[in-house]
Structure formats: structure tokens, C-alpha cells
Amino acid sequence: MDMHRHRRRLVAIYAVGAIALAPWIAYLWLVEPARGLAHDVGWLTAGLVVVLATSAVITGILCMTGSWMAMVAAAFTASLAFATLWFRLTAPVGPESAFATGRSFVVLLVPLVLVVWPFWIWVRNGGTTGSNYLGVAVAYWASGILLLIGAIRLVSVAPSTEVEHHVRLIWTGLDTFELVGLAATAWCIHTCSRWLVLASTFTAALLTADAWTNVASTTSWARTAAIAMAVIEISLAVLSLSIAVVLGPDGSQTRRRPDLAPTIPAATEEHR
């Protein structure tokens, strides 16, 4: 009963979050300018890349040990790479931005490609990874090292401020992805779906990226407001990761409802 009550509360939290985002997205689309000025460009992107690199290294370690949590780490890494690529695709900048180079773009694609292997194993094994994979682990470690090198280079050469193109599309698009993640997480919790691991991890990664970019790209009073919003987003991101770890394995099992509980035939006395 307690678990059922907790699930209902979690469904309410994520459903309300998704519903609240819808009018906010519409508002942003109406008021955001076509272009805007981003501050601390080097630290903004480098911060995302460092988190991405750290996540890739952790994913490699978990793949090496055969932990089922490798799927959580791989999904977080891939989702964060997706968010970073979203910023790169929708906010093309001048040649002075080192991270806009083709080689760095390819490095960002690596976590999205690597996630296919642990995902396939996770689906095949019914929600677990089950064994260690050294090749995948080494690939994640290599991508993490390359990302760290790119982050260091970016900080040293990127300008302090830069004009962002398609500002309206950048933020409404990211918030739309968050809305989808929140709604999917609510649905997966409600239905006890094994896809909860992916939905909640995807949501956590997008919330983390949104919080960091909001804080790093603003100044003055706007940064104060961004920090206040980031506290909420990071709290929800931590909750989402906790759900993936705690409820994720449970989500791959039968629904925890009385009407769907397995029926155990009563023992009967054998006739003499």
C-alpha cells in the first residue's frame, strides 16, 4: 500500500510538471527573440562536456563490472550528448568557437552510438545487462578522454560572449523534450513499465543540461532567477535518477496491483 501511494505521488509530480511546461513553452515561443547574447561561452559548453565525459567514464566502469546500472549511466550519457548536440545544431556560431569543428561534433555522436549496445543487451535480458563488456567499456573511456580534451581546448579559445542564433527554437525545443520526458516518466511509473529506466534518466539529463545552460549563459538578475530555477531542476533530476535506480528494476516486473497479483493455487490434500 505504501509503495502504491508513493507511486501515485510521483505520477502527480511528473504529470503536473509536464502540464505546467506546456503554457511556459508557448510563452517562450512568443516572447523570446530570434537572436540573443550568450555569456561565458567557453565555460557554458565545457561544463556540459565535462559532465558528459564523467558520465561516459562511469558508464565504462559499470559496463566493465556488468552492473545493470550500466543502462542508467549509458542512457544519461546519451541523453546529455543529445542535449549538447541540440545546442550545437540550433545555435551555429562563428569559426572562433572551437567546439563547432567537425571532429568535436563526431565525438559528441559517439555516446549516442555506444548506447545501442547496452540498450540491446538490456532489452534482450529483460531489464538487466548481466555480463561485462570490455570493448564497450574501453570505447566509453576513450570517448570520455576525447571529450575532456575538447573541453580544455574550448575553455582556452572560446570567446567570453557570443551571439546565439535561433534562441526561440533552442529553448522551446529543449523544454519540449523535457515535457516529453516528464510525461513519459509519469506514464511509466503509473504502468510500472520497464521503460521507466530510460524515461526518468532521459528527463534527468535534460533537466541537468537546462539548469547548467540557464545559469552559465546569464548575468545579473537573470542569473539569480536561473539559479533559483536550477535548484528545482536539479532536485527533480536527482529524483529522476533515484527513480531509475530504485524503481527501474521493479518496473520490468508485473504490475504491483492486487488484481494482477499472481495466483498461487491452494494446497489440497491428496485423495487416498
pLDDT of residue 152: 79
The mean pLDDT value for 122-138 works out to 70
Taking Cα atoms as reference points, which of 136, 106, 140 lies closest to residue 121? Answer: 136
The mean pLDDT value for 69-94 works out to 83
Q: In this structure, is residue 269 part of a structural domain?
A: no
Q: In this structure, is residue 164 part of a structural domain?
A: yes
Q: Which domain holds residue 127?
A: 2-254
Q: In this structure, is residue 18 part of a structural domain?
A: yes
Q: In this structure, is residue 265 part of a structural domain?
A: no
Of these ranges, 123-132, 210-219, 252-261, the one predicted with the greatest mean pLDDT is 210-219
Exposure of 250 by Cβ count < 10 A (0-12 exposed, 13-18 middle, 19+ buried)?
middle
Q: In this structure, is residue 272 part of a structural domain?
A: no
The mean pLDDT value for 240-247 works out to 90
Number of domains into which the chain is organized: 1
Per-residue cell: 79: 541523453
Taking Cα atoms as reference points, which of 171, 180, 215 lies closest to residue 40? Answer: 215
Q: In this structure, is residue 90 part of a structural domain?
A: yes
pLDDT digits (tens, 9 = 90+) for 134-190: 888 898 999 899 888 877 777 676 666 666 677 788 889 999 999 999 999 999 999
Q: In this structure, is residue 15 part of a structural domain?
A: yes
